Chains A and B, each alone.
Chain A
Amino acid sequence: MKQGRTFSVVGRPRRRVDGRAKVTGQTRFADDIVLPRMLYCKLLRSPHPHARVKRIDGSRAEAHPGVHLVLTGTTMPIEFGILPVSASRTPSAAAARVVSMRLIRAWGCGERSSLQCSMRGSDTSSANRV
Chain B
Amino acid sequence: MSGGAAEFRDKLRMKLRVNGEPVDVVFDGYKTLLEVLREELALTGTKHGCELGECGACAVLLDGQPVLSCLTLAAECDGRDVETVEGMLQDGKLHPLQEAFADLGGSQCGYCTPGILVTAKALLERHPDPTRAQIKEALSGNLCRCTGYQQIYESVEEAARRARDREPSETAR
Chain A residues within 8 Å of B, Cβ to Cβ: 13, 15-16, 18-29, 31-32, 65
> How distant is A21 from chain B, measured CB to nearest CB, in Å?
8
Docked Cα-Cα span, A81 to B48, in Å, equals 32
CB distance from A116 to the nearest CB of B (A): 27
- Given A29-B111, A65-B2, are A23 and B44 neighbors across the interface (CB < 8 Å)? no
- Count A-B contacts at CB 8 Å: 59
List B contacts of A26 (CB < 8 A). 45
Task: Contact check, A13 vs B104: say whether CB atoms are below 8 A apart.
Answer: yes
* B84 close to A (CB within 8 Å): yes
Check B94 against A24 for contact (C-beta < 8 Å). yes
Q: A25 to B89: give the CA distance in the assembly, Å.
A: 10
Bound Cα distance from A29 to B44, whole angstroms: 9
C-alpha gap A65/B89 in the complex (Å)? 43
A24 CA to B93 CA in the complex, in Å?
A: 10
Q: Which of B71-79, B95-103, B123-131, B165-173 contacts A (4 or more CB under 8 A)?
A: B95-103
Docked complex Cα distance between A22 and B45 (Å): 9
Task: Determine whether the beta carbon of B85 is less than 8 Å from that of A25.
Answer: yes
- The one of B44, B103, B107 that contacts A28, using a Cβ cutoff of 8 Å: B44
The B93-142 residues at the A interface (CB cut-off 8 A) are 94, 97-99, 101-105, 107, 110-111, 113-114, 117
